[in-house]
Amino acid sequence: MTSTPAITVILGTRPEIIKCAPILHECERRDYPCTVVHTGQHYSEELDSVFFEQLDLPEPDYELDVGSSSHGRQTGSLIAEIEPILEAEDPDTVLVQGDTNSTLAGSIAAAKREWTLGHVEAGLRSFDREMPEELNRVLADHAADYLFVPTEESADLLGDEGIPDERIRVTGNTVVDAVQRHADIATERSDVLDDFDLSSFQYAVLTAHRAENVDNPDRFEAILDGVDRFAAERGIQVIYPAHPRARKRVEEFDIDVPDRVELVESLSYLDFLRLEDEALVVFTDSGGVQEETCILGTRCVTVRDNTERPETISVGSNTLAGTDPEVVSSSAREMLDRPVDWGCPFGDGDAAARILDAITADLAAEVA
């Protein structure tokens, strides 16, 4: 055994691809052997291959094609498929990221056997057990040998749950590394503002894809109504790059999308980063978008009843509006009165390096 760790990264959805990219780049820079397992939870080009291209990532070593299905079926078949890959690769460390069904499956497959499991973006809590993501992140955290947390606040939450300090490493969030690497490239290369005929800071953005919002027609319509009220007051357009799940629900529930809200397919990373960066305000139920707006200095209104990113509320970049239309529009109005003078609570852009340093040091200690 040497102290150069062999790593297997398990990923499968848009946010995992984006937030694992800095780790894959850092492994490449250090010449660490790294195997990528793509679960296939996301498979549409707009949620998958476009990110591999734009983030300059190698093709995955394994592609599992799990596709969409119920939670149990998706998670269960992934556990069964990941286990033999780990047997074949026998890595020193298995990394999972975030809170999806792919995260949970990778965690269980690794932790039930002899492999060391690291959970990237550990320690987030919405305290809402109705969310599938909350169960996934709690279970992954309690399965993991190493918990790479973005902030001290997350470390404290894990301590409160009895997770020993020596398993917890405060590294920052790799989302900062990704934004720092790509924000200027997005400004240079993306034509998204021209494509939608938008002027900087004279439009809003909406992303809503979370099950508790778009699978409930009343909540979904209330969000659209609230965003539309704000847009009407300001006389601006709203661009809504919609996840396929949301587009499906619009059709299924026969939802009348207001004229000011332009519903389009999900955008590539560079186009979306540019759109976020130059928006007057972003309405969202996404975790990653709450973080990115905070990093980019864009005001954010979260259309949920809770958030596992409370740091964004504390620094003032984000506000929780729920889905009541009047509250959604007045929250955006109030955000416009706030100065954009907050600092980024998610680290300095060296999270991937810190994660690999921690893995390397732990392996060296084991070898010694």
Question: Which partner, ligand UD1, ligand UDP, none, binds residue 35 by CB below 5 to 8 Å per kind?
Answer: none
Q: Buried b vs exposed e over 132-159: b needs ≥16 C-beta within 10 Å?
A: bbbbbbbbbbbbbebbbbbbebbbebbe
Contact in structure between 162 and 8 (CB atoms under 8 Å): no
Q: Which residues partner with 120 through β-bridges?
A: 97, 148
CA distances from 33 to 9, 30, 92, 337, 350 (A): 11, 9, 10, 49, 20
Give the separation between CA 243 and CA 215, rounded to whole angstroms.
12
Angle at 274 between CA 269 and CA 276, to 5 degrees: 95
Give the separation between CA 303 and CA 320, rounded to whole angstroms.
6
Q: Single out the segment in contact with ligand UD1 by CB under 6 A; choices: 35-43, 108-116, 186-194, 231-239.
A: 35-43
Q: Single out the segment in contact with ligand UD1 by CB under 6 A; choices: 39-47, 120-128, 185-193, 336-344.
A: 39-47
Token pair 């939670």 in the structure block, residue: 71
Cβ nearer to ligand UDP, comparing 116 with 307:
307
Per-residue string for binding with ligand UD1, 83-112, x by CB under 6 A? ----------------xxx-----------
Is position 209 annotated as part of the catalytic site? yes
In sequence order, the 6+-apart residues with CB closer than 8 A to the CB of 70 are none
Extract the tokens encoding 322: 């729920």
Per-residue string for binding with ligand UDP, 164-203, x by CB under 6 A? ----------------------------------------
- Is residue 41 involved in binding ligand UD1 (CB under 6 A)? yes
Contact in structure between 173 and 346 (CB atoms under 8 Å): yes
Find, among 232, 257, 346, 329, the residue nearest to 293 by Cα.
346
Per-residue string for binding with ligand UD1, 177-216, x by CB under 6 A? --------------------------------x-------
Question: Which partner, ligand UD1, ligand UDP, none, binds residue 269 by CB below 5 to 8 Å per kind?
Answer: ligand UDP
Per-residue string for binding with ligand UDP, 253-272, x by CB under 6 A? -------------xx-x--x
Run of H or E including 184 = helix 174-189
Cβ nearer to ligand UD1, comparing 5 with 106:
106
Looking at 19, 42, 234, 249, which residue binds ligand UD1 (CB under 6 A)? Answer: 42
Give me the catalytic one of 25, 42, 182, 209: 209
* Number of amino acids touching ligand UD1 (CB under 6 A): 19
DSSP 99: S
Extract the tokens encoding 17: 């691809």
- Is residue 14 involved in binding ligand UD1 (CB under 6 A)? yes
Cβ nearer to ligand UD1, comparing 268 with 329:
268
59 class by beta-carbon count within 10 Å (0-12 exposed, 13-18 middle, 19+ buried): exposed
Find, among 184, 239, 187, 248, the residue nearest to 214 by Cα.
248
Cβ nearer to ligand UDP, comparing 206 with 359:
206
Question: Which partner, ligand UD1, ligand UDP, none, binds residue 207 by CB below 5 to 8 Å per kind?
Answer: ligand UDP
Q: Which residues bind ligand UD1 (CB under 6 A)?
A: 13-15, 41-44, 47, 68, 99-101, 132-133, 209, 243-245, 248
Which residues of this protein are in contact with ligand UDP, per CB under 6 A?
14-15, 18, 207, 209, 241, 266-267, 269, 272-273, 286-289, 292
Return the active site residues. Answer: 209
